[in-house]
Structure 1
């Protein structure tokens, strides 16, 4: 059974479209329509490139025989999201003599999307980047909105730029090659959209948890489209994260601290966000903002989706707090968190007492 391609329009400057559906990486006409010049580079990683790079190149070449296609492949994993890898990609762009009308295709998960997007933002002060996310996490989150970055040893995403993509092409068939753990990590970000602004979406996810875990095409496409529509609406209203867009960081302040403390080698990003959302909900309840029953409901849904909900053993609460002080979401006035007043009602709260945060970390 074929499933129609879904499209989500993202307003802004410039506006762009998210295309969602199976087998879109083979759609040469769609891919070629996005090109402005005769040069393209596919940036991917050692896991994804062998699966899809040839197909993307072949589809592009068939639609545009005059196209010069280059490739650059990086080692897979968060450890590649560094200034050194950024230098590698920009050097490859220079050696390929990529001009300002060139297009960079970011083929992979969030690491490749963030890194290649940042390289595209900086090369000749900005060339087109088409996001080709191959993980659920990237499809519903990092590929949408134009935030690009690399990590430093001191923290995640500390060096970056806003650079909206030319388009996002989310091929749901690519999810069939995704390890189950990576699929579940993406579902954490899907849950986030319900938690921050759509309690009814949480009910839908609970009702469709089994179909999502079974990678049912139609159910995944629906979840991706609804998530992208939520993010697109928020990004359009706040493209540079001066206000409402910060809500998209629900769970991330706790989550990034856990990832950083583990040297990006323990829980993955989606798992860290799942844990972070539960901690944020507990903190909200502790501060009297939200009912504890909503925390339990969120925790139960994440467990149904086979995601972790507790701080990994052996992590020191004080060290986690120290990472949060450096987090991009911290401001001069003190710690700032995305908390909630119950399911679907997130808000940003500043001057959160460190004692309360420590208490949640020690009990969570």
Structure 2
């Protein structure tokens, strides 16, 4: 399949929205989070190829590496910073070799200043709370001050519940909610998506290819490095993988009929969810990147969409979508300001 001529643009957020490419590039796999880091020159070449292809939205986090992913992108964007939209995140860190969620206002500012230096930029286009610190009121936003100071342009939350989104949005308009969304991860559709659309907030879909499963099937798990974070995920445990293989097989059959790849079929489904949705599939290979943006040329009618969705209903999927479900939107409620004050 030929590459599309130009990548369409969409707007995230109806209040002072951020214009981005309709598909972005998730950069987590370039660094140590998904196994060993990839060669820096190859990753910079991939980033430049993405920009030349019309993809301008790049997603990272200070946790990726940790820290090294932002540094890599800072190097890759030299001379082309004006052509891209940088999204990064804070709030997840390793402390004493343990994962910690941190959202205290002092830490927010420290994290932002450090990310600006690593990214070698004076302003972050979209700054996300990576995970919600349930110890700190969501309304206590140093982020609003950072916008006023010009250090960030737009604010987003990742894995936030509908009520958390409402509370945060009342303090400062949110531009985007980043959450997992794919054919087989649809738990956000009942509450989170309607809330975003009511409030005019864009949706950034991470892991739209099921962390690689919807692109390569069960066999890809066998090729992952022992340090690859994905090996912890319940859906990829052997007993679940054997059952979930049937989902991939069905998608393969449909992709063959459509004349596209399974990855393109999965991304085409995400594109159908609305003009306010930007999937950010990650890859470290130019061939896979080209395949992903080729999904823009795959169309699905209502019958095909329904058929595709029938392959991955809740009763068919085995295993939770995340290794740490307690850190997803299902557990993102924070204390109120008054409650927090009384606890101090």
Return the TM-score normalized by structure 2.
0.36
Q: Which has the higher helix share?
A: 1
More relative contact order, 1 or 2 (CA 8 Å, 6+ apart): 2
Return the TM-score normalized by structure 1.
0.34
